[in-house]
Structure 1
Amino acid sequence: MYLHRLELRAIGPYPDTVVIDFAALAASGVFLLEGPTGSGKSTIIDAVVFALYGGLAGESSTPDRLHSQHADPATEPFVELVFETGAGLFRVRRTPQYDRPKQRGTGTVRQQASAQLFRLAHPADPAGEPVSSRIPEIGLEVTRIVGLDRAQFLQTVVLPQGEFARFLRSPGEERRKLLQSLFGTQVYDRTADELAARRRAVLAEVEGAESRVRDAQSRFAQAAGVEDPDERAVDDVVAGLRSVAAETDEHRRAAVSDAERARERERSVRERVTARERRAALLDRRRALDAAADEVTAARDRLALGERATRVATSADALDAARARAAQATDAAASQRQGAGLDADTDVVGLRTALADCLSDVRHLVAVERTFATRRRSAADAAVRAEDLAARSAALVDALERRPAERATIVESARTAAALAADAEPARVEVERVAQLRADLSTRVTAARAQEQAERAVASARAAATAALATETDLRARRIAGLAGELGAALQPGDACPVCGAVEHPSVAVPQDDHPSADAVESAASAARAAEAALAAAATDLALAQQEHERLRTVLGDLDADTLEARATAAAERVRAAHDAAVQVLDLERRRSAHDEQTRALEQERTTVASEHAVLVSSAAAESERLAQDTAAVDAAVRRATGALDAGTSASTDTAAGGSSLADAVRALDDRVAELDAVLAADVRAATAAASVAERQSEVTEVCAEQGFESVERARAALVPAAEGERLRAVVATADRERAVVDAGLTEAAVAEAARTADEPLDLTAAVAARDSAVERADAATRVAVSAADRLEAAARCGEDVARAVRARESTSARSRAVVRLADVAAGSTSVNPSGITLGTYVLMRRFEDVVAAANDRLRGMLGGRFTLETSEERETGSRARKTGLALAVHDHTTDTLRAPGSLSGGETFTVSLCLALGLADVVQAEAGGVALGTLFVDEGFGTLDPETLDDVIGQLARLTAGGRQVGIVSHVEELKQRIPERIAVRRTPGGGSRVTTTV
């Protein structure tokens, strides 16, 4: 992370506002925070840590020291920090808890702490996007954004005075917790847990596989009909059953073959007997057909003659019908011409052509004639509409002249209501504040009851803890007093006494009846510890309840329910008034918008009315002229149509056009044309009928010659009546079918074979008896073979199940061995992992080695190369903690010995601790997905260094800036002022506070 800007006020020794631009200070990489001891250098570090985490850098520091004693008590203290991480740019602002003067009366009121977090678009963004204003949420969010909690931040970014050497002196267990949180190696611990779970799972699978083998053996024994077979004997049992099944199947096949031969013999005898009987029946039927052959031949000849006569009669009937149609068509044509008033020699085609030409010229004007009445009415209506539009245009002009004054009245009313509605937000804030105070007033009573309950719980827990401790003490005293009896009870004759070593025991002590056991003492100790924990939890609850009750008393002060009720009523009245005004503003705004919209509508309507009036006057004049032209054209067409109709009508008819309209004249012309079309069609039909008579006459003459008849009369005499024809055809068809059936039957193979073997004797009864006997023997052999095959199949299937179960057990066992071993190695089981180091610790050891290597890389250039750090898997000297593999020792190359970190001098401790802290920061930043540590603070410790070592340390710090990092050195050493030009100078003021001067 990178720091951009820090702003604080009324914090520590700074009564006024202090602004520090870290981005400008760190442009060269290293800057100095210098000043006399106690002037307030560490307060700036505390402000950075407080802004991020709500706590201070030093472990012993408390937030109470933040509020400046030199500032006006009414001045609100705050710290604001702008910082940047991979998650974005943020600004956090915190106000510590402080006491401010009461607004009414004397005394002070405790003002609670507050915090705000914003996401910024750029470092100078004055507003930003709010993220949260709740202190717990901001703490979690800052930890997520930075990627470090407060303890990790103090070990890698801010190395406060007396704190950054803790990593060097801390035992391995504390190093393990810090490294685990920094490098995120919890995944390896979860891996070890997962391996342990899989170890349990595969052991359960092994047991399940063994159980499945036993179940498969049991099913195999039942299927094979054996008792308790060994899994190795399964194949032998199956082989024996297969031999038995093969033998019985051979017997079955022989019996089935015998039965099949008997069935074939019985079927052959039966078919030959049937064929002999069928041949005798067919011969009888053929003799009957031969006797009726002459009658069938006569019927066939009579049918042939009748068919030839029918062809001639059909053509003659068609000739008679054609003659009748020709006479009818000729009469109809003469009648049609007479009805039309036409002579036989009149040119009907020419007359129709003349009338059709006249129709094509005048027909289109009929539609024009029909529009005359409507067009005359429309002209009258247009004149009336023009007068109405002129009147409407004048009325619209008057209405538009009155609109501006009406709008001014609405706007003035809206301005008055808006001024009253502006009080809505202050009134709402006052309502929320009063509601919160009322809730706090109600909560204060609940908090008082909770405090009383917590006090009673503490008293009860204290009594229980005292009783449990007394019980444990009593049991331990009784056990110590009775140890002689316990030792005596364990002695056997000839055993050496554990106290004096003698093998003779003349007076052996015996245990007392109420002597407590070790388990009883341990149980009492556990109960005592549980009681102590319960007491501590109850005390914590009491402290929280007291703190909450005190907070509510501080917040409420002297306020009572009546005062809050009066404030609530007044605030609610303000809110209602502002709300009503806001509603009125909206209503007036809608009215103004509606008024403007109506004005625009009136202006649009005025324009539309004027345009419509002008168009209407112009179109009316044009339409009047077109109507006069169309009327003249229609009158001319009427005269022409009437003349044409008179010329196409004879004097003897009464078809002259009636009326004076063009539609009537056209209708009369259409009727006359249709009448002429009917005359022409009748003439065509008469000519066609005459041609058809000649064609049919020729066809009759030709058919008589083809069928062998001299005349139509002779052919009609040879016709066969319908009933007689049906009878004759039935006789012929029946004889033909019977003859075909008999001939086909006699040519069948079985019937022909029966004719050749007619003298051979056949015994069907003996063949049936032999078949039944053979079938019974085959059924018995089949049942035996099927039973043997079923047993073999079941045994083979169960044998395969046994083999699969055995293979699965072996595979599971082989797989489980690898999982069990891997789980034991990851868990540090000494049976397979002699070092006893778990997987998570092993990974941390490698990371710790990287940290130590990075620290040694810097330490080699300091202190004359005298010291290097080394890791060890053993417990650190003097440590009673469990073995973590993260022990640390200092290798003194001068004496070639290993020293404990606590044996270093002050300057040596500072230098080694600084290198270790810088190495830790480097490895954290270099880790994939690690935290980007762009800013580093080192607080004090430089005064313990000699000039040469100081040069080495400054050189190592300067190396950090090559990668874009910022390093801030907090020190009062005078020599550093000459080495580092960018600095923050802190100086005391005569008034007792301090001021800050920044040099860039």
Structure 2
Amino acid sequence: MRLHSLEVTAFGPYRDRQVVDFDRLGADGLFLLHGDTGAGKTTLLDAVAFALYGSVPGARGQVKRLRCDTAAPDVPTTVVLELTIQGQRLRLERSPEYERPKKRGEGFTTQPAKASLTWVDGAPTEHPPEGLTRIDEVGRTVQRLLGMTVDQFFQVVMLPQGEFARFLRADTAEREQLLEKLFGTQRFGEVERWFVERRRERGREVEAQSQHVRELLARVSQVSGAARESDVDDQSWLEDVEKNALRDLEAARAEQSRLRREREAADAALAERRELADKVRRVRDAHATLAEIAERQAEHDAWRAERDAAHRAVPVLAANRAVLRAEQECERTSAEVAAAAQRCGLDAATPVAELRSLAGAEREAAGALAHLVPEAQQQETDQRRVAELAERIARDEQREAELRQQQEALPERITAARQQVDDAKHAEARLEGVQAREAEVAALLDTARALPAAQQALTTATAEAQRAVDAHQRARDVLQDLRARRLAGMAAELATRLQTGEPCPVCGSAEHPAPAEAVEELVRAEDEEEAQRAEQRAHAVREEAAVAAQRAQQEVDGLRERLGDRTEDGLAAELAELRAEREALRSAAEQLPQRTAQLAELEASTERLADQLTRLRTDLAAARSEHAALVSAVQEREARLREGRGEFPSIEERRAHLLDTAARIEELVAARTARDDAERRLAEHREALTEAATTAGFDSPAAALAAERSEERIAELTEALAEVEERAAGARAALAGPELAGIDPSTEVGLEQATEAATVAREAAERATALAHRAEQRQRDIAELGERLRQAWAELGPALAEHAELEALADVVNGRGQNARRMSLRSYVLAARLEEVAVAATRRLQRMSGGRYSFVHSDAAGARGTRGGLGLDVLDDYSGKVRPAKTLSGGESFLASLSLALGLADVVAGETGGALLDTLFIDEGFGTLDADTLDLVMDTLDELRAGGRVVGLVSHVEEMRQRIGVRLRVRKSRDGSTLELQT
């Protein structure tokens, strides 16, 4: 990396544009940056760091105030750096985020940060020719070209003011954190954690296996009922348990066979007794059934008489139902007469002729009121018109007040409309910037959404590549197998051509004592060639799959590089905010013509409001006049209508009442007529009922109704009589059959004794069977558990050995156990890097200290068993003793810190494999050196520039100005710092 030029504007103390030509400053390989305290020497180094990484080193980077306080509001803060990295000359331009006054109105607005990268000599093939404008893409590209992070850059290229000795005096923990950032050894910490996690997982697995063994042993003890003794081997105990279970099973089976034979004999005797007992029971049941039927003969005759009477009463029941319906009709019509008389308010016994006369009188009175209906309707129309006019007058009066208010508020509305027009113009000016930012975020969001598909393609391509590797390896195995078999078969092939007495074509001997025998499957040359072609095709497929996987990886890396730390959700939220802001601005900008027209409309509305007020007042006077005339006419007509209404609210309601009364009286007349007809029909049905009872053979209708039975009762009587006849026939048929011939109902069978004997034999056999089954199940369970237990023992042994080995290895990797130095893997790697740094720094420290001091790296464990490996002391050659670095004086500390910083820069640059670092900046510290020591330091710096580097020193020491010919002076003033090149 070589710097060419630096431009700063409104940055730090530099209010105006200042340019630093590093090509002129570094022409001699060494230049000095000096000036008054606070003039801005270190700010120039901050500007270089900000242009590259967007941040500044040290505590100044935490303040985030990079803009010059005295800069004009319209002057943007910018830093432009032109440099060459890995042969590519590029131009970086950055602006930090800062607050600037609003162009319109009061207050401040946030100026967003910007960054751009331009290729001076043409862009590389993998980058767009127009350069980069996104902050994250610029940062990733610079870091990739330099090959180091921002922390590594500040430690390697730009040694910050006041931080030379931080690494030298740091304790082990601080030194470990710094080295881990510089050398990127986090992966070794992940290895340590992997071993710990793997040990924990294997420990859980081993414990689970041990618990499984314990559970199996407890289960065997539970099933067998044999307790485990602590002094007996588990495997011997298991064998004894299995033998005892087998002996118990054989004894249980023998007892089961004996008791089964006894049960069969008892069951046969019981069957014979049961057959005889059944025949005796059937004879006894037949005699008992016939005796019972004879005793209940009178009851059965009564059932038959009841059933016959119910059948004869059926016609009488139909006539009775007609009488009941006629009675219900009489009751209904009588109720209707009473209800109609109640609605009319008249006596139900009033003669029909008188009722018809009353109805006619009511209808005549209703007809007399017909001529007043139109006047009542006109009265309602006029009253509605009066109400409408009153409402219109009130509305016009309110409208008059509103117009007066609008006329008074018109100047304020015109002022507000002018402000809205101004706002729309401002929105139109801001719209372009928001749209540009929206396009940038939308492109990032597309990149974020394309990343999952690219990752899936990478996974697929990687899997395809692995399958291609496996296929190629199989093809190679087949080819090698065929070649080996063909070589083995060549001897047999030559042996078939040998002739007795003729020389061998291989060895020349005429004797052939042991010719090779032919192989079973002879491999031909064509088979080998075909296998070779298949292997070549598989190799080609493997190469293509590898290229595809590499391209997929490059695609994913490119997407991740463009995306940076952004996430899809964050970008989507930011894009939504920008779109909402853009829509709001666009909406406001689009309303500019409308708002302009509204302003013109308001300005021209003064005369319109005056005309509206004049017309409204004229209409209001006419409405008031019409309202007064209608009120007088309504009052005059109301007297006539009041007499016609009487006690009713309106003429229509009184007419409706008269007509309703007439209708109710007419309904009473109709109800009286229907009731008389119903009474006549009831008398006729009662005469028919008496005639039907006499015809059916009953003395009276009441006797016929008493003989009524339900269908269920009749069916029940019929079924009972049929059952009695069926039982009698069955009993007689049973006694007459040959099966029961000669059976005496008084015979004693003795069934209880046989049943008891069979029950005892069966229970004994069942108990023996259950015991045999339990013994068999116990023996089977013990055999199965024994097999599982032996399998678990076989698996537990290797698992215990593996876990012990893994536990010991994890302890060693994490600095415990057999690790005597108490160094973890990460500390060991960092100790190796620190040892390299100590070697590189010692060469410069011996030179600058006149051979007195050397760095000594110690990997011993710390006090009280703490981790070691990162100790760094100083060997004093004058005394021959090792001293802590904290005992050095101020000047000696500067020499040691500078040597350590230069050595650390060399090791980090070699470790990262980054760009060649041709430029180095050193800030302050030279004031603590005497003249001789300063000579040694300058000799070391001369060696650096002799190697092609450009070294920039920042110091206000007078002697440095005398020693260095090329200088850049920083002058401080109230108007901002300025730069002056001196030679």
TM range (shorter): 0.3 to 0.5
- Return the TM-score normalized by structure 2: 0.43
- Return the TM-score normalized by structure 1: 0.43
